[in-house]
Amino acid sequence: MMYEFPFRVPAYYALIIRSMVTLEGIAIGIEPDFKVLSKAYPYVAKRLLTDPAPELRESLKDLLFKEEGFRWHRLENLMRNANDSRDYDFDKIVNQALDYLFSERGKFIRDRLSDEIVNVLDSVGRRTWFNLSTSFRQQVGLAVQETPPELQEDSYTITHLKNIIGILQNTSGFDPTRVVSVLVKIVTKPETQKLGQSVAEKLSQKMAARLIRNLLLDTTPTPLNTGKQLSAAK
Residues 6+ apart with CB under 8 A from 206: 118, 122
Q: pLDDT 10s per residue in the chain (234 long)?
A: 556 666 677 787 788 888 888 887 888 888 887 777 666 767 777 777 777 777 877 787 787 877 667 788 888 888 887 777 766 777 777 777 788 788 887 788 888 888 888 888 888 888 888 888 888 888 887 777 777 766 666 667 778 888 888 888 877 777 777 778 888 888 888 888 888 998 999 889 888 888 888 777 654 444 444 444 444 444
pLDDT score for 152: 62
Give 82: exposed, middle or buried? Use CB within 10 Å, 0-12, 13-18, 19+. Answer: buried
Q: Helix (H, G, I), strand (E, B), or coil: what is residue 65?
A: strand
- Please give the model's pTM, rounded to 2 decimal places: 0.60
- What are the pLDDT digits (tens) for 29-75? 888 877 776 667 677 777 777 777 778 777 877 878 776 677 888 88
The span from the CA of 234 to the CA of 220, in Å, is: 29
What does the domain layout of the chain look like in residue ranges?
A: 41-217
pLDDT score for 137: 81
pLDDT score for 154: 61
